[in-house]
Amino acid sequence: MKRILLFLIALFVLTATLKSQDDEFYLHSLKMNRALYYLKNLYVDSVKTKDIVETGLKKIIESLDPHSTYISAEDVQDITEQLDGEFEGIGIQFEVYRDTLLVLATISGGPSAKAGLKAGDRIVKIEEENIANIEITDSQIMSLLKGEKGSIVNVTVYRKGEFIDFCIIRDTIPIYSVEASYRVDDKTCYIRLNRFAKTSYNEFMKALNELGNTQNIILDLRGNVGGYMDIAISILNEILPHKSLLVFTEGTHSSRKEYIANKEYGKLRESRVVVLIDEGSASASEIVSGAVQDWDRGVIIGRRSFGKGLVQNAYLLPDGSVIRITTSRYYTPTGRLIQKPYKNGVDVYRKEITYRYKNGEFNTKDSITFDEDMKFKTLKSRRTVYGGGGIMPDIFVPIDTSSYSDYYRDLLSKSVINDFVLMYVDNNRSDLYKLYYSIKSFSEDFQIDERFMKRFVAFAESYDIKYNEEEYAASESEIRLILKALIARDLWDTSAYFFITNNDNKMYKKAVSIIKGDEYNRILVGSVVK
């Protein structure tokens, strides 16, 4: 009783000292505090205050909109690393293959490369702790290898029949967001960006400078879930004319703020531009594609984007956790809000992409309907565009499911293709480097023959995936393509993977055709019926 009396006195004192016009807000905050006190001190069983608050915050934040989130202190670091574009560790790409940590590649100039680790090495011990032939997850390995910059980690590597000890000094390791960049031809370049992290603009410009002549640029934003808005604005500064409106934001507690192109001459100002998007392209991806489309500055190709037009800001809480809450909405230069509806709740919102697929939207644009009240006109050619549900591309390319089968699904779900490639490259790496001096020579000359495929089928059967002649025939060309692309990736990098897979991708091939032909200009003046 004494504890309750003291608590009530404290509440009275606090209430008397509050100086705010928003009495209702403080009444509700006191209500929450009192309820928490009762649960902690009077509930029949012991209650962990942290668990109550964590659960409560999640539910409260999730009830606001689909993109406001609560991030626990434990998860903040991982999310921050992805957006900051760096972490502190030893600098390797790895796979856990048959309970062994296999080094796929060392990051050039990174700690492991400096220490002497090589692709194909098997790390069997970390700080004398055995990690070979035991069940271990990627996250467990990362926790052992990551650490403060300048700290030391000792590893034991198995290489060609001998064990070698390495002392590696941890350092800052970049997480690259430019997944691929290469020349398509003497005028055309391709860049794939998987998110808009702090380092993305610098990576983007570095790629452009290394590629050289960029009369045509294909910017691949498929599957890009977004990131920092200011990075999207920096990239748009390279594309759109000086003083162009790029995007504007507005909210109940934040007045309209316009973002204007402030670079007098961007690197891509005179280039032809094609942007690839799909249902996985969201947020900052839609800022870029929306601005390019609104100004008739380039051609958007693919499928309708995700539809996220809400801006979140992160706010730190006392225990190191973070709430990311929606503070405003963003609008494309024509005034389009591309946020799709979420009034039916988070569960329905998250399943909306599945509904699109079931309704046939991925196969034909005729199944897509837009609210006529959300109709806008582009700023130069006066072409019709819509808001309220993502960015609709200028040219629709349906999803290709012709090579999909249950056999192929099982290969993917059990990681058979990836495991086979790891084994193949591990056994043939030096010979492959001797035969193929570049990605281009590998792409042109490396052939996956029948003997190779028979070995693969037998390997799949060791994973209890039975050969099915009809399903194999349906998926064979796709399996061959992915096998070749993954081999190229493990020998070089992700640019090699996309260099090979893109050449059999309908959306990419359409982009190359459009950007090099007369149709590019006809689309942008609105004279082509698509």
pLDDT score for 22: 65
Taking Cα atoms as reference points, which of 43, 15, 45 lies closest to residue 30? Answer: 15
Residue 95 backbone zone (phi > 0: left; psi -120 to 50: alpha; other: beta): beta
pLDDT for 183 equals 96
- 528 within some domain: no
**pLDDT value, residue 3:** 52
Choose between 365 and 375: higher pLDDT.
375
pLDDT tier for residue 272 given thresholds of 50, 70 and 90: very high
Are residue 465 and residue 371 in the same domain, yes or no?
A: no
Half-sphere exposure of 357 (CA within 13 A, CB side): 11
Residue 64 included in any domain: no
This model's pTM is above 0.85? yes
Instruction: Provide the β-strand partners of residue 87.
Output: 173
Q: State the average pLDDT for the chain.
A: 89
Q: How confident is the model at residue 9 (pLDDT cuts 50, 70, 90)?
A: very low
In terms of domains, do 382 and 446 share one? Answer: no
Kindly state whether residues 251 and 341 are assigned to the same domain: yes
CATH of the domain at 321: 3.90.226.10
81 contact partners, CB below 8 Å, separation of at least 6 = 87, 175
- Residue 281 falls within a domain, yes or no? yes
Q: Which of 399, 427, 454 is the last residue of a domain?
A: 399
Q: CB burial class (10 A; 0-12, 13-18, 19+) of residue 240?
A: buried
Whether 15 is covered by a domain: the verdict is: yes
pLDDT at 279: 95
Residues 225 and 280 in one domain: yes
**In terms of domains, do 170 and 190 share one?**
no
Full DSSP string of 247-296: EEEEETTEEEEEEE---SS-TTTTSEEEEEE-TT--THHHHHHHHHHHTT
Q: List C-alpha distances in Å: 442 to 94, 231, 489.
A: 23, 35, 11
Same-domain status, 198 and 289: yes
Task: Determine the pLDDT at residue 102.
Answer: 87
Alpha carbons within 13 angstroms on the beta-carbon side of residue 180 total: 26
Structural domain includes residue 186:
yes
Q: What is the pLDDT of residues 380-405, one digit of tens each?
A: 999 999 998 899 999 999 999 889 99
Indicate whether 22 and 98 sit together in one domain: no
Together in a domain, 210 and 280: yes
pLDDT reading at 13 higher than 60: no
pLDDT digits (tens, 9 = 90+) for 452-475: 999 999 999 999 999 999 999 999
**Which structural domain range is residue 422 located in?**
406-492
Q: To the nearest whole percent, how much of the chain has pLDDT over 70? A: 95
The pLDDT of residue 15:
52
Please indicate, yes or no, if residue 526 is contained in any of the structural domains. no
Last residue of a domain, one of 174, 202, 221: 174
CB distance 305 to 335 below 8 Å: no
Give the CATH number, domain containing residue 98.
Answer: 2.30.42.10
Residues 281 and 415 in one domain: no
Residues 383 and 452 in one domain: no
Considering the domain architecture, whether residues 372 and 311 belong to the same structural domain is answered as yes
Which pLDDT score, from 0 to 100, does residue 308 have?
Answer: 95
Q: What is the total count of domains within the chain?
A: 4
Whether residues 217 and 250 fall in one domain: yes
* pLDDT on residue 109: 79
Highest mean pLDDT among 98-107, 115-124, 505-514: 505-514
At which of 141, 174, 207 does a domain end?
174
